Amino acid sequence: MGARKRKAPDEIQIRKWLDQTLTQFHRPEFLGSDPLELPHRFEHAEDRELIAVISALFAYGNVKSMKAAILTVVTPLGERPAEKLKSIDENEIGKIWAKAYYRFYSSKDIQALLRGLQKILKDHGSITNFFQASSEFPTREGSIFDWIQHFRNELLTSMPKKLTPGLKFMLADPHAGAAKRWHMLMRWMVRKDHIDLGIWSFIPRSSLVLPLDTHLFQIARALQLTKRKAASRQAALEVTEAFRRWDPEDPMKYDFALCRLGVLKVRDRELAALQKQFK
């Protein structure tokens, strides 16, 4: 006799569990377990967004290691990193960050990123101004992928024509995969509350897509929000659509809390408790 098929949780059960998770973990005391804690250390919006971009692009691996690597990159920029990066001679970047590296990223990769960000800051004053300066860029509520691609394309203009493996990973094509780090950056910058920064308020919260990583993919599979076998772009879109059913205007409000389940190593316990409800 085969094993009894587990029934799917209904939407009321899932929503109740998500709201409980939100209440429990979407709190400032958990920022220390996330690289988003680093931009919060800065007062000015142009500094926060610069540190957020660097932090998001370094957000892979364990939190302790990634935060240490991010600090290695941003500490030389001092208390006003945007102004400091604008003022540094381009050749000095190679000297200051000659020994910086992190996992897939070589010192040359990190220097290339900083030069790309420096060009944006010199040309526009801030990353926000860069987005708002383009008359050709869509301001309508639409695909978040357009916003990401616009920013990525600008960074690529300062990169070598043949990207290193590190830069390919760092500046992932948002149309080719889940692009978790790009979508996490957009959540940080678009949503505004005691967790997210909300500096890019001109981008609709409703357009955000889930930053799907292994932990969130396993949660989504357990909740049967996707049946896909890999944490792909399409899987991210499917789970995002499920979240939009519960909050069309702010579907990514659950993301930080759900990520705590994996980071704080309570995911399996929480999911087991939920699954008891729909055996």
Q: Which tens digits make up the pLDDT trace of 48-93?
A: 999 999 999 999 999 999 999 999 999 999 999 999 999 999 889 9
Does residue 4 form part of some domain? no
The mean pLDDT value of the chain amounts to: 90
Of the chain, the end-to-end C-alpha distance in Å amounts to: 17
> Per-residue b/e over 242-279, b at no fewer than 16 CB within 10 Å?
bbeeeeeebbbbbbbbbbbbbbeeebeebbeebeeeee
* pTM of the predicted model as reported, rounded to 2 decimal places: 0.91
Does residue 166 form part of some domain? yes
Calpha distance 50→184 (Å, rounded): 14
- Counted domains in the chain: 1
User: What residue numbers bound the domain in which 123 lies?
Assistant: 11-278
Does residue 230 form part of some domain? yes
Q: Where are the alpha helices (DSSP H) in 33-126?
A: 45-57, 63-74, 81-87, 90-96, 107-124
Residue 79 CB coordination number (10 Å): 11
Does residue 51 form part of some domain? yes
Q: Which pLDDT tens digit goes with each residue over 229-241?
A: 999 999 999 999 9
Does residue 134 form part of some domain? yes
